[in-house]
């Protein structure tokens, strides 16, 4: 990342002494050592570039920007400083400025593989896959054996449904770096989508060997083996929907014929409720339920694990308040005063619903109603599917009603959505407490 060069800049040994501290998170010590070297090298662009990275580590982003800009002022053709500045600008949400800085880095250094990959990732994250692929292709042309570039191309081709090409690049990335955790994981997802279960299992197992803390993989392997757990890991759900947020509605409504908010609206009409009062939308996602029910609403709050989903929901200008939290965490820490609790396609990531039922009943300061959907099963209790989602039976919901003193008002067995051309049958419930 950082190169030493002439007398204007620190020696390799001096740089190494700073970076060894930086790389283990000893930012204050690295900061002090760097400041001392400024006495010896007051106009070193390299040192200011390093100082920028140290300030990023300290979360002092303002001084980090100043450091990168000063490095560029001293050395206007400093491609690395432009690249590092762009990384920070992206982190701060300044996407357009980040792109400008990446382009500057590339113009200064046309073979800058890292910068091509970085700007490609920016476009990937804003779902401009055409531009993203353009830059990944540029990086690949420079270095066909770059593990990151091949991984990025695999992701692009996966998004484009060009699965053979995606498989090729994921495998090539793994061949280059046999310890590339994310490549094994994404290749597993690709095989899983194609229902190549054994291939998927091997990839997931390899992922877990390389990174035993990878909770997403643990959950998926549990689901594939039929081992029913109480709920999906929070980190897994958060990551899933953060990645899905930008295309969520297009994919779910248009491609998968998502029907749950409309069914919930029908149940509310059947219950003769024209004014819902105060509503809490549990796992509100992008706000599809709020949008469908807006004519019935007096006040609606939403809570969701995914900050990117919440951003999309906020854009609808329907919700009074939006909270970034998991459902149990929110219910546990808040004094609740709602007339309606709604959970549309949320309990598919929670197996054991006992705690949620208990918290709503205990912490809400008024009588109210709970309306929610499940993926339905005729089996007793609940279980996890091979897709990593939970199914709940009517008997299980009746058991919870009896245990926590809810009254079952309405139950409908309905079509919720498509899943790879198969109809997903669900249960929609209205309970009174």
Q: What's the token pair of residue 51?
A: 């100082």
What fold is seen in the domain 239-432?
A: Rossmann fold (3.40.50)
Q: How confident is the model at residue 4 (pLDDT cuts 50, 70, 90)?
A: very low
Q: What CATH code would you report for 12-170?
A: 1.25.40.10
Is residue 318 within 8 A of residue 361, CB to CB? The reply is no
Asked if pLDDT for residue 253 goes beyond 90, the answer is no
Task: Dump pLDDT digits (tens) for 297-314.
Answer: 889 999 999 998 999 999
**pTM for this structure?**
0.75
Place of tokens 């039976």: 393
Domain with CATH 1.25.40.10 in the chain: 12-170
Q: What is the mean pLDDT of residues 94-116?
A: 97
Q: Hey, CA dihedral for 317, 319, 321, 322, is it positive or negative?
A: negative
Residue 415 has a pLDDT of 85
Asked if pLDDT for residue 273 goes beyond 90, the answer is no
Is residue 276 within 8 A of residue 298, CB to CB? The reply is yes
Asked if pLDDT for residue 6 goes beyond 60, the answer is no
Rounded Cα–Cα distance for residues 203 and 180 (Å): 11
Asked if pLDDT for residue 57 goes beyond 50, the answer is yes
Task: Dump pLDDT digits (tens) for 328-351.
Answer: 999 999 889 999 999 999 999 999
Is residue 382 within 8 A of residue 367, CB to CB? The reply is no
Q: Is 377 left (phi over 0), alpha (psi -120 to 50) or beta?
A: beta
Rounded Cα–Cα distance for residues 57 and 229 (Å): 37
Closest C-alpha among 286, 306, 312 to residue 236: 306
Rounded Cα–Cα distance for residues 281 and 339 (Å): 11
Burial class, 113, CB count within 10 angstroms (exposed 0-12 / middle 13-18 / buried 19+): middle
* 3-state helix vs strand vs coil in the chain, percent to 5: 60, 15, 25
Task: Dump pLDDT digits (tens) for 83-92.
Answer: 999 999 999 9
Domain with CATH 3.40.50.150 in the chain: 239-432
Closest C-alpha among 156, 92, 107, 163 to residue 130: 156
């Amino acid at each position: 990342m950082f190169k030493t060069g002439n007398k204007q800049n620190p020696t390799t040994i001096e740089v190494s002494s700073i970076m060894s501290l930086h790389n283990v998170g000893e930012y204050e010590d690295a900061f002090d050592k760097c400041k001392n070297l400024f006495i010896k090298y007051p106009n070193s662009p390299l040192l200011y570039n390093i100082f920028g990275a140290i300030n990023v580590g300290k979360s002092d982003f303002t001084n980090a920007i100043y450091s990168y800009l000063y490095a560029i002022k001293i050395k206007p053709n400093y491609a690395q400083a432009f690249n590092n500045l762009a990384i920070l600008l992206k982190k701060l949400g300044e996407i357009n400025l980040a792109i400008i800085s990446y382009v500057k880095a590339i113009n200064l250094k046309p073979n800058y593989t890292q910068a091509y990959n970085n700007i490609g990732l920016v476009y990937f994250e804003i779902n401009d896959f055409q531009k993203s692929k353009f830059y990944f292709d540029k990086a690949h042309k420079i270095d066909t054996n770059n593990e990151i570039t091949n991984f990025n191309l695999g992701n692009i081709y996966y998004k484009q449904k060009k699965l053979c090409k995606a498989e090729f690049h994921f495998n090539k990335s793994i061949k280059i770096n046999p310890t590339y955790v994310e490549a094994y994981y994404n290749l597993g997802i690709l095989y899983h989508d194609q229902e190549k279960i054994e291939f998927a299992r091997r990839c997931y197992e390899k992922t877990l060997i390389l990174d035993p803390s990878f909770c997403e993989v643990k959950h998926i392997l549990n689901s594939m083996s039929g081992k029913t757990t109480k709920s999906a890991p929070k980190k897994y759900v958060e990551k899933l929907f953060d990645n899905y947020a930008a295309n969520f509605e297009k994919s779910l409504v248009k491609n998968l014929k998502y029907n749950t908010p409309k069914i919930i609206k029908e149940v509310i009409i059947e219950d003769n409720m024209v004014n819902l009062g105060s509503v809490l939308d549990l796992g509100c996602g992008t706000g599809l339920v709020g949008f469908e029910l807006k004519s019935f609403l007096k006040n609606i709050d939403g809570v969701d694990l995914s900050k990117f989903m919440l951003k999309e929901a906020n854009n609808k200008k329907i919700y009074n308040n939006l909270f970034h939290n998991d459902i149990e965490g929110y219910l546990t820490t808040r004094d609740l005063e709602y007339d309606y609790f709604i959970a549309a396609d949320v309990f598919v990531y929670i197996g054991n619903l006992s705690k949620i039922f208990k918290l709503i009943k205990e912490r809400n300061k008024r009588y109210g109603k709970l309306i929610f959907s499940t993926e339905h099963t005729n089996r007793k209790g609940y279980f996890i599917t091979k897709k990593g989602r939970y199914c709940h039976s009517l008997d299980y919901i009746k058991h919870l009603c009896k245990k926590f003193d809810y009254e079952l008002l309405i139950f409908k067995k309905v079509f919720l959505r498509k899943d790879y051309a198969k109809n997903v049958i669900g249960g929609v419930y209205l309970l009174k407490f």
